């Protein structure tokens, strides 16, 4: 499970929201990668997740991104605890 703190004014960076103004919400990128890269090696998924996090302007740790990549690779759920500050 990962944790991220996020300014409440920037929730659209993380969550797909039709009213949001951010062009690259991470939730959407994660879902797309989970759909297209399920079962692929985590090492292949990790740089894609890293780029998605960078585009969304989110500061995930390398360890969190690695856990996410492993979850996609193993077709397992990933729990992310987001705190709006």
- Burial class, 49, CB count within 10 angstroms (exposed 0-12 / middle 13-18 / buried 19+): buried
pTM of the entire predicted model:
0.85
Give the three-state DSSP class for 19: coil
Q: 67 — phi, psi (to 5°)?
A: -60, -40
pLDDT of residue 51 exceeding 90, the answer is yes
What is the percent of the chain with per-residue pLDDT over 90, rounded to a whole number? 49
What's the pLDDT tens digit per position in 10-41?
888 888 775 666 577 898 899 999 999 999 99
């Amino acid at each position: 499970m990962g944790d991220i703190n996020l300014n409440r004014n920037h929730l659209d960076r993380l969550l797909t929201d039709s009213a949001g103004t951010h062009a690259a919400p991470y939730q959407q990128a994660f879902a797309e990668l989970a759909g297209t890269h399920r079962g692929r090696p985590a090492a292949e998924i990790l740089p894609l997740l890293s780029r998605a996090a960078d585009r969304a302007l989110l500061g995930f740790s390398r360890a969190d991104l690695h856990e996410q990549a492993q979850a996609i690779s193993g077709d397992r759920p990933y729990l992310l605890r987001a705190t709006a500050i």
